[in-house]
Amino acid sequence: MALALGKTVFSGILLAVFILSVAKYLLLPLVSPSSSPTPAWLSLPALLALIIPSVVSGSRRLRNLPPGPLSLPVFGNWLQVGNDLNHRLLASLAGKYGGVFLLRLGARNLVVVSEPKLATEVLHTQGVEFGSRPRNMVFDIFTGGGQDMVFTVYGDHWRKMRRVMTMPFFTNKVVQQYRGMWEEEMDLAVADLGGAGGGEWARPEGVVVRRRLQLMLYNVMYRMMFDTKFESVRDPLFLQATQFNSERSRLAQSFEYNYGDFIPVLRLFLRGYLRRCRDLQTRRLAFFNAHYIQKRREALAVGEKNRQKKLSCAMDHILEAEMNGEISPENVLYIVENINVAAIETTLWSMEWAIAELVNHPKVQSKLRRELEGVLRGAALTEAELPRLPYLQAVVRETLRLHTPIPLLVPHMNLEEAKLGGYDIPKESKVVVNAWWLANNPAWWKDPSEFRPERFLEEERETEAAVAGGKVDFRYLPFGVGRRSCPGIILALPLLALVVGKLVAAFRLLPPPGEGKVDVTEKGGQFSLHLAKHSVVVFQPVNPPKLSSS
C-alpha cells in the first residue's frame, strides 16, 4: 500500500515536472523572447536524467502481465519505442519478447500478438472478449463517438450496423448484381490507358496509374452506393470527395497526436489539431449529405409518391432501414464515411502494390498473361471466369501477403480484463495482431520476402486460407477473421483479380524508360501500408483491348 502510494506521488511529481518543461518549451518563447535563464532543473535533459528507469512499473510484477520492456512512470515505454509503432518494429520486438508482449504507452496498454495460435484466440476463440475497438479523441471525432460500424465497440449497436450493411453491400447477390458494372468501369480505364481517351492516359513515359484507378474505384463504389458516377478526374465533385477523404486519412493516421492520446493532460496541446479534425469532418459529412444522401432521399420520395418505389442502390436500402427506425440519420452518414475509408483506399493500395510487383517481376507477368490467354481464348475477362484462373488468384493472394494493406488489422480491445496465452490482459487494452508478420515470418513461410505467387499453388497448396472461405489459416489474415473481420472481402477479392487480370491481358506493364524497376519502398500510417511513391507505369498494348460489352 505504502509502495503504491509512494509511486503515485513520484509519478505525480514527474508529471508536474514534465508539464512544466513542455510548457516552458512551448510557451515561454511566445510570452517573453528574452526571458531570464530558467532553472537548470526545468531543462529537458535534466528532466530526462530525472526519469531513470529506477521505478519499474510494479503492476507488471504484481499481476501476470505479458512480457515487455521495462517501463517508466508516466511515459511507460513511449520514450524507448517512439511513435512509429509499425509492423516491422513490432515484429522485431516480438523476436525479443515473444508471441504476445505488452507495451505501456503513457496511460495506454498496447498488447501485440504475433503468433498464429494466439491470433486464433484473439480473433476467434475469444472473439467476443477481444471484439471491441479502442477509442481515441481523433477517432471519436471521425466516428461521432462510435456511431459508425468499423470503430464502434462490440455490442448491440455494432450488430445492428453490420446487419443493416450486409444486405446492400456484402452478399454474393450484390456481386452478381454489380459485376457487369465493375467490368464496364474497368474496361473504360483499360481503354483510357490504351490511348482511347485522347492520349491523356497513354504516355510513352508512363502514367501515375493510381490516378486512373482511383477514378475507376470511386465510380465502382459510388455507383453501388448512390447510383451515380464522376465524369473525369477533373469533375469538381470527384476533386472534393478525394480531397476530403485523403485529408481524413492523413489526420486520422498521423502519429502526430499520439502524445495527447498516451498522456491525457497533454491533450491541452492538441486543441489546434482536434479543431482541424472537427472542421474537416463537419465539412466532409455535409458534402456527403448534400450531394449524395439527400439526392437518394428525394429519389425515394418521388418513387413513393408515384407508387413506384424501387430500391436501386445500397443507400436506398440503408435509408429504408432508417425509415423503419432501425438506424438514425447520423448512422446513415457514418456508414457513408466508413465505406469511403474502409472500401476505397484499402482496395486502391492493394491494386497499386499488385501492379508494382508485376512490373518488377516480368516472368510472373508473362506467366499470368499466358494463363489469361489460355483460358479466355480472345474473350474479355469477366467475374464468372475468375474461378478458372488459379494463377491470377495466387498473384492477388501473394500481393496481400507481402504487402498486407492493413498490417496490424484494425486494433481490437477487451472491455474487461482477459486472459491470453496464460497472461492477464488489463481491461481496455489496445490489442493488435501483427498480420504482416504472421504472413512474413521465415519460421512459417519459405523465403517470405520473395514475391512468388507459385507458393500458393505449390507448398501452400493445402492452405485453406481465410480468403478461400474454408478452414482458416491463422498465418494468413489480410482481412482478419471472426466477428470483426472484413465483410468487404466478398467485393475486394474479385475487384482486385478483375482489374489485375484485365490490365495484364491488355498491356505489358513496364517501368518508365531507362528505369529497371519501380520503387516499392513502403510507407505506413497508424493502419495502412502503402507505397511511399505512387508508381509510374508504362502500359504497352499487347492486343487491342477487349471490352466486356462487345
The CA angle 66-68-69, to the nearest 5 degrees, is 155
Based on the shown chain and the rule CB under 6 A, indicate whether residue 492 belongs to the binding site for ligand HEM: yes
Strand partners, 523: 530
459-478 positions binding ligand HEM, by CB under 6 A: 478
Binding window for ligand HEM (CB under 6 A); candidates: 230-238, 255-263, 341-349, 422-430: 341-349
CB of 2 to ligand HEM, least distance (A): 43
418 φ, ψ to 5°? Answer: -140, 175
Closer by beta carbon to ligand HEM, 72 or else 333: 333
CB of 154 to ligand HEM, least distance (A): 8
How is residue 72 annotated by DSSP?
A: B
Based on the shown chain and the rule CB under 6 A, indicate whether residue 526 belongs to the binding site for ligand HEM: no
Closer by beta carbon to ligand HEM, 101 or else 476: 476
CB of 395 to ligand HEM, least distance (A): 13
Interface residue with ligand HEM among 81, 241, 409, 506 (CB under 6 A) is: 409
Binding window for ligand HEM (CB under 6 A); candidates: 239-247, 285-293, 334-342, 532-540: 334-342
CA 538 to chain centre: 28
Q: Where are the alpha helices (DSSP H) in 194-270?
A: 209-226, 236-253, 258-262
Binding window for ligand HEM (CB under 6 A); candidates: 2-10, 19-27, 337-345, 528-536: 337-345
Closer by beta carbon to ligand HEM, 157 or else 203: 157
CB of 484 to ligand HEM, least distance (A): 4
> Cα separation of 443 and 447, whole Å?
10
CB of 15 to ligand HEM, least distance (A): 33
Closer by beta carbon to ligand HEM, 57 or else 485: 485
Based on the shown chain and the rule CB under 6 A, indicate whether residue 488 belongs to the binding site for ligand HEM: yes
Based on the shown chain and the rule CB under 6 A, indicate whether residue 396 belongs to the binding site for ligand HEM: no
DSSP codes joined into one string, 474-527: TT--TT--STTS-TTHHHHHHHHHHHHHHHHHHEEEEPPTT-SS----EEE-SS
> Cα separation of 498 and 496, whole Å?
5
> Cα separation of 311 and 539, whole Å?
39
Q: In this chain, which residue has its C-beta nearest to ligand HEM?
A: 488
Based on the shown chain and the rule CB under 6 A, indicate whether residue 381 belongs to the binding site for ligand HEM: no
Neighbouring CB atoms inside 10 A of 442's CB total: 9
> Cα separation of 505 and 483, whole Å?
37
Binding window for ligand HEM (CB under 6 A); candidates: 243-251, 256-264, 282-290, 483-491: 483-491
Based on the shown chain and the rule CB under 6 A, indicate whether residue 168 belongs to the binding site for ligand HEM: no
Closer by beta carbon to ligand HEM, 348 or else 537: 348
CB of 435 to ligand HEM, least distance (A): 7
Binding window for ligand HEM (CB under 6 A); candidates: 67-75, 90-98, 321-329, 339-347: 339-347
**Strand 100-105 and strand 207-208: pairing?**
unpaired
Based on the shown chain and the rule CB under 6 A, indicate whether residue 327 belongs to the binding site for ligand HEM: no
Mapping DSSP to helix (H, G, I), strand (E, B) and coil, where does residue 409 land? Answer: coil
Closer by beta carbon to ligand HEM, 58 or else 145: 145
Closer by beta carbon to ligand HEM, 339 or else 364: 339
354, 179, 347, 211 alpha-carbon torsion, rounded to 10°: 80
Based on the shown chain and the rule CB under 6 A, indicate whether residue 217 belongs to the binding site for ligand HEM: no
Binding window for ligand HEM (CB under 6 A); candidates: 99-107, 175-183, 364-372, 401-409: 401-409
Of 171, 199, 249, 504, which Cα lies nearest the Cα of 366?
A: 504
Based on the shown chain and the rule CB under 6 A, indicate whether residue 511 belongs to the binding site for ligand HEM: no
Q: Is 327 left (phi over 0), alpha (psi -120 to 50) or beta?
A: beta
For residues 395-420, one letter each, b for 16 or more C-beta atoms within 10 angstroms of the residue's C-beta and e for the rest, the string is bbbbbbbbbbbbbbbbbbbbeeebeb
Grid look-up 486519412 returns 249
Answer whether 42's CB lies under 8 Å from 87's CB. no
Interface residue with ligand HEM among 111, 381, 406, 529 (CB under 6 A) is: 406
Answer whether 315's CB lies under 8 Å from 295's CB. no
Grid look-up 512551448 returns 26
Of 137, 145, 164, which Cα lies nearest the Cα of 332?
A: 164
Closer by beta carbon to ligand HEM, 85 or else 339: 339
313 is in an annotated binding site: no
Closer by beta carbon to ligand HEM, 21 or else 346: 346
> Cα separation of 251 and 268, whole Å?
18
Based on the shown chain and the rule CB under 6 A, indicate whether residue 213 belongs to the binding site for ligand HEM: no
Based on the shown chain and the rule CB under 6 A, indicate whether residue 105 belongs to the binding site for ligand HEM: no
Of 406, 425, 418, 414, which Cα lies nearest the Cα of 104?
A: 425
Sketch the per residue contact string, 130 through 159, with ligand HEM: x for CB under 6 A, - otherwise. -------------------xx---------
Binding site as annotated, residues: 486
Binding site as annotated, residues for heme: 486
Per CB under 6 A, residues contacting ligand HEM are 123, 149-150, 162, 169, 338-339, 342-343, 346-347, 350, 405-406, 409-410, 478-480, 484-488, 491-492
